[in-house]
Amino acid sequence: MADEVSVLIVDDSALMRNLIGKMVEAAPGLVIADKAMNGRFALDKIPRVNPDVIVLDLEMPEMNGIEFLKERKKQGIGIPVIILSSIAAKGAAITMEALSLGASDFIQKPSGSISEDIHTVRDRLVELLLSYGGQYRKINGKKLISPSEAKAINPAAAETMGKGAVSIASILELNVTHAAAPATPPTPLRRPANTELIAIGISTGGPDALRVVFSKLDADLKVPIVVVQHMPAGFTNEFAKSLDRVCPLDVKEVEDGDPLIPGRILIAQGNRHLEVGRNKDAAPVARLSDAPLVSGHRPSADVLFASVALTFKNHALGVIMTGMGRDGAAQLGTIYKEGGLTLGQDEASAVVYGMPRVAYELGHVQEQVSLNQMARRICDIAKTNR
């Protein structure tokens, strides 16, 4: 169907192209645009097949993934790219280079370049393809297939895919419907005071979004920032380094006991919860834990926001941004109730209007802000004396 998200698959292995193609064909709402064995062939095919999203391997002959991304950037091609590569498991730095060159997100092949068990990442791949491809269609004024239409095309596949953590219909729903009117917001226990901590929760679409926000922050912002970005273990250190290169503030992966220093950004470690508290001298510090998953995640934005509300009360600013699901939505309301301030990314600029949508519908978002304006609002709020 013309309204489905079309996918260009780029991998030098014929087996991988075939296996990835079968996953795309089986997913309601997705269709194969074409396949290419390396970056050079992909560039040749893009003008003809006009895909909505690209799945890209990094290790390929003639033109590898990094070289493709450089040429894509040079040619001004805006089609989103999802990295699906075994190199992601070996070299976090290379993966972060791919993100810095414009790739939107990444998935590790589960068992090397030729992963016959690639089906184990099917749900995550489909989620990313529908999310980024759907947003690209919206931005370019293309119609997007509805959940009911997708199910009608392939009801058996829709039911099977829906058994995963995220259903196909739920992803499509985020791209074709608008948020409901918000519920009655909580009654704050106290009035907002000067901002002493900024906490951000973000997921799918986060690497690009944080790059945009952090590059626009004021160099004289004197408030600590803590961030939960859903990302696998082993990648957050390089992710923090990549953000540090574009941000006027210092950015680092958090370590247990790190002090919350004005003008420094701490990124949660993959697979560890991040909380804030105070040490024996009552100074604010970061704490890491291996407690069970919360809201389906570790690190969890809900865990971070709850600790921020408890420790900083009406001196906190909570920000919830693009992401699938509802992590952070409930506990953002606790920051609101304690007298803190809350922002949510708006629907138009979010790759996936899931987490901020749920927070908005719960009445926990005081103000919705576009991605391009988020840094400005954060800085203005943080610098206001109350």
Residues belonging to the active site = 203, 230, 327
Preceding amide of 61 cis, omega within 30: no
Residue 234's identity, in one-letter code, is G
Token look-up 């009608």 returns 152
Residue 148: burial class (beta carbons within 10 Å; 0-12, 13-18, 19+): exposed
CA distance 120 to 294: 22
Could you give the 3-state DSSP secondary structure of residue 141? coil
CA geometry: angle at 68 spanning 66 and 73, to 5°? 100
At 365, list the tokens. 């978002």
30-36 vs 197-202, strand pairing mode: unpaired
Structure tokens at 378: 């954060």
Could you tell me which of 283, 247, 281 has the C-alpha nearest to residue 264?
247
Helix (H) / strand (E) element for 74: namely helix 65-75
Pairing of strands 105-108, 30-36: unpaired
